[in-house]
Amino acid sequence: MGEDGRVSLWRAPRAVNAVDASVALPGSKSITNRALILAALADGPSTITGALRSRDTDLMIGALRAVGTAIVDRDGGTTLDVTPGTLRSGSVECGLAGTVMRFVPSLAALAVGDVHFDGDEQARVRPMGTVLDALRGLGADIDGDGLPFTVRGKGSVRGGSVTIDASGSSQFVSGLLLSGAAFDEGVVVHHDGKPVPSMPHIDMTVDMLRAAGVSVDTSEANTWRVAPGTIKAHDVTVEPDLSNATPFLAAAAVTGGTVSVPLWPATTTQAGDAIRGILERMGADVSLTDGALTVHGPERLAGIDVDLHDVGELAPTIAAVAAFAAGPSYLRGIAHLRGHETDRLAALATEINGLGGSVTETDDGLRIEPVPLHSGVWRSYADHRMATAGAIIGLVIDGVDVEDIGTTAKTLPGFESLWDRMLTGVRS
């Protein structure tokens, strides 16, 4: 929104030449918010370095402070000293952050007193019932089935075994696992239903729990066993956010230019790492040298038939790139994106088609037929990744006005200036 209450429009800059830049990205949202939960439940103080500061991570910091965790920031906010406290009643504002609404309730059930949750209007339709029902099954007392709801914390949670259908979001599983070691009996989560999406995000949860000394057994498919025990305080350094890197790498792909992202981890559980293989399949030259990932865009991009079930976060970026390929693309396995910040399948189809495109929604994804696009308004639906997808399209098409570019602050405040710097060839 602009100051006058009207939705603001941002004229996406056209790339006059092929981009040639190096772009350093701030920390990962997913790692920062997991690190914060684990630090709040740990057996002593710890420090998170390289944390992302954005709407979603600030909401997580606010949530944990509200229930009794001391968090002090320094180094411009990216170093967080976290001291766990006795968890108590409070009010948690979730905004539109899936990680806050799905990860904090389990921790809140350990508090003494009521913890009230609410969020943005748009957040009230995001699927929540599975997490709340699972927690009830584990002994927690909760009023409500979606935002707003109240967790009536009793100071402890029995825990034990629970079966859920996590086909709607991997966050249902991660949310239970992250606090599970603090439950009296630990937690065993069984999934029963269509395949769980975004599995790398569950791997991230498991890896981070193990790094905190928690025993997690994943030997049985679709079952995660977290033993009860201490979550050890330890310092964490956050990797750059690779999903947020993807629009910048896409800029190289669609302009036939070159973009490097420094500090790309050699191994990672971040979904964004999959961009390497995807852009390569679309014809880009991709290399990881001396810790920097470099994408060099081809003369003509190839269409792609790709299953994004594991890495749905990348769908808006890939859809925007696919709109400029030489042939059609099929993005599959992403029905669950209908429950993301907005219905991303509908939003992508509507907005690309609004610029003259030819995108069809399928049961589980999108078919994108590249056709010439024209100028127009690109709506972002309060969705950071819709806004950045519009920016990618605006690199190639004259006169694309992205609505509410400020919504990128959900995970990447200052997106516009990073984008401008990329276009002026700044190497950071």
Binding test (CB under 6 A) with ligand PEP, winner from 97, 108, 182, 355: 97
State in angstroms the smallest separation of the CB of 203 from ligand S3P: 10
Among 3-11, 77-85, 197-205, 290-298, which window interacts with ligand S3P (CB under 6 A)? 197-205
Nearer to ligand S3P, 276 or 410 (CB): 410
- Rounded to whole angstroms, how far apart are CA atoms 159 and 188? 8
154 is in an annotated binding site: no
Residue 64: half-sphere exposure toward Cβ, Cα within 13 Å: 29
313 binds ligand PEP (CB under 6 A): yes
Among 50, 105, 312, 316, binds ligand S3P (CB under 6 A): 312
Looking at residues 323 to 352 of the shown chain, list those that interact with ligand S3P (rule: CB under 6 A): 336
Q: Which is catalytic among the residues 313, 351, 403, 416? A: 313
- Do 7 and 404 contact (CB within 8 A), yes or no? yes
Count of residues touching ligand S3P (by CB under 6 A) = 13
171 touches ligand S3P (CB under 6 A): yes
Whole-number Å distance between alpha carbons of 199 and 339 = 16
- Asked if 294 is part of the footprint of ligand S3P (rule: CB under 6 A), the reply reads no
Closest among 356, 274, 358 to 317, alpha carbons compared: 274
Q: Would you give the binding string for ligand S3P spanning residues 364-403, x where CB under 6 A is met?
A: ----------------------------------------
CA distances from 239 to 58, 71, 120, 350 (A): 17, 20, 28, 34
Q: What's the rounded Cα separation, in Å, for the pair 70 and 410?
A: 23
Q: Which stretch binds ligand S3P (CB under 6 A): 16-24, 63-71, 184-192, 195-203?
A: 195-203
Binding partner of 344, given ligand PEP, ligand S3P, none, CB within 5-8 angstroms per partner class: none
Does residue number 269 form part of the binding site for ligand S3P (CB under 6 A)? no
Write the binding mask 94 to 133 for ligand S3P: x where contact by CB under 6 A, - elsewhere: ----xx----------------------------------
The interface partner of residue 198, options being ligand PEP, ligand S3P, none and the CB cut-off 5 to 8 Å by kind, is: ligand S3P
Q: Choose the binding region for ligand S3P from 50-58, 164-172, 212-220, 390-398 (rule: CB under 6 A).
A: 164-172
When binding is defined by CB under 6 A, the residue of 99, 150, 174, 268 that contacts ligand PEP is: 99
Determine the Cα–Cα distance for residues 349 and 120; give it in Å rounded to an integer.
Answer: 24
Q: Is 417 annotated as a binding residue?
A: no
Q: In this chain, which of 19, 25, 30, 272 binds ligand S3P, going by CB under 6 A?
A: 30
Interaction between residue 169 and ligand S3P (CB under 6 A) = yes
The verdict on whether 185 is a catalytic residue reads no
Q: Check if the beta carbon of residue 95 is closer than 8 Å to that of residue 119.
A: yes
Provide the binding-site residues for ligand PEP, judged by CB under 6 A: 97-99, 313, 340-341, 385, 411
Binding residues: 29-30, 34, 98, 126, 169-171, 198, 313, 340, 344, 385, 410
Q: Which residues bind ligand S3P (CB under 6 A)?
A: 30, 98-99, 169-171, 174, 197-198, 201, 312-313, 336
> Known binding site for 3-phosphoshikimate: residues?
29-30, 34, 169-171, 198, 313, 340
- Please give the positions annotated as active site: 313
